[in-house]
Chains A and B, each alone.
Chain A
């Protein structure tokens, strides 16, 4: 056992932390309040390597190990939840499946511009009005072969990054017969005629990360845009979500860390009954619990990432890490508001935003309940 990060990983953390402290954190409130995506910072992420974390170097990526990728998302979450979610989705959900399942031609075409920040971002399109975690039976968006093209029709929901992406990885039904081999992934450039991106959804938090409903009306793309194997879309999606869950777990740890740091700072400054509130046991216990649980959550996220990096199965561990880290983050952010008292409820203080932002983490990429289902299936042989 070795709980030390390598020198390289420590340096990654330092550089990303410095970048986030300068380029994201000071603008996080504005990003949330205005709903404007922080393109200025994201454009600077390309040369740094943050837009192609696990993309091989020959395609312009940073090719960092899975733990370093988790650290990067954690640090982004510490600075700005909205931007972190967009970058996590871009890396894990859009580029991840292209790296894993793409043909050489697809990789050559899409990875260099997306990984280096020369273009916009990428996104994954799964959820539909009637299909969330029940993708196998629920997906109604279809792709039908016609000559040398796929014709895509249907409607998707909750698509993170849809309006700020050049490319969508779309889950479609290619076999109307249904079953676990009836879905496929198709690469769809966002400027393809027939795509309508609805205005950004109004949300509780993460307002600087645009989420959209998207309609596909006779969208025509070449047959060569099939990603991976026809009929294996469900399996490819589940594998992609394993990786995405490590990212969401890391993001939640970052949000929780930011709330914890804000609470620690406030506990030193604020005085009640003639002494700083850090002297009150009620406050001490909340902060001690936060420190403990955040550390445990962080270790679980790194553990899942470590297994992923080794190429070992990590579905259960990713679900455990996501479940635990996101629920810890929610608790830590909740208690950070409690430590701040009335001021914590004010939008003037960072913890109010962090609490709203972290609320999604127990929902997106599989709710806590779905994570428990995944874990239960593994431990009970269901």
Chain B
């Protein structure tokens, strides 16, 4: 059984982002690394590794589409225990929207070949769309199983999972291959081991470009339906403070209550 874990490198959760007047976004994290493996994807990587440890998967290949810098997140995944990594990177793919990214990932999964399960985190902390797993499933023509909180059984060409939905849990069985997206309830991601880091730092990660993949339908900025033409920093909230003065506390309270009624707060 072959598993592909699709990940994304994102700004760290503690990174400080700034947007200049030209709409250019920069970020840094003085206390740590500015870019990390998308925190939601840590659960996907962990579940991929558990498919190997508990369900007999032979390969757990971590895959990302992004810049050269994304190698770092791939190495983190290798250090956790993935068996191989692939970076899809090409200037022609830059500026892709989620549909374009899904086309790229689907093409890469097809190129890997023989994949039974593609695992995703439920969303990325930067774009926060949560669309990519579904779109990749659609492009591949595979069954999407989203918000998976437990993998119950894998075998006989089928997979049984538990899905965590707003109104409860449901257990579903689907024929392989499938695309699953996982929620944080599924596991506790392991830390990359020191032994794993050493192996990962020496790993050669192949890079696939536009010439290596048959991306159907187009990708990159030209094919993007999403418009990023106006990027700006969120203006700070403007407020004012009014101190209520009166002779007695009771009077102050009455004035306060009146004002709150006026403003329809109470």
Contact = CB atoms under 8 A, between A and B. Distances in A.
Interface stretch (A6-14, A28-36, A121-129): A6-14
Q: Name the residue among B33, B75, B194, B195 with the largest chain A CB count within 10 angstroms.
A: B194
Interface in B64-106: 75, 79
A11 B197 contact: yes
Interface centre among A15, A44, A72 (most CB of B within 10 A): A15
Given A7-B201, A14-B32, A63 B195 contact: yes
15 contacts: A8-B197, A11-B75, A14-B32, A17-B32, A18-B32, A47-B190, A47-B191, A49-B193, A49-B195, A53-B194, A57-B195, A62-B194, A62-B195, A63-B195, A64-B194
Interface residues of A, number: 21
Contacts of A72: 194
B198 A8 contact: yes
Contact of B197 (A12, A17, A53): A12
B197 A15 contact: yes
Given A8-B201, A19-B191, 6 more contacts: A7-B201, A12-B197, A48-B191, A48-B194, A49-B195, A62-B194
Given A17-B32, A47-B190, A11 B195 contact: no
Interface of B: 32-33, 75, 79, 190-195, 197-198, 201
A68 interface: yes
Given A7-B201, A8-B201, A14 B33 contact: yes
Interface of A: 7-8, 11-12, 14-15, 17-19, 44, 47-50, 53, 57, 62-64, 68, 72
Nearest to A8: B201
Contacts of A68: 194
Q: Is the interface of A mostly helix, strand, loop or mixed?
A: helix
B162 to A, nearest CB: 26
A49 B194 contact: yes
B198 A15 contact: no
Contacts of B33: 14
Contacts of A47: 190-191, 193
A263 to B, nearest CB: 16
A29 B228 CA distance: 47
A57 B199 CA distance: 12
A44 B191 contact: yes
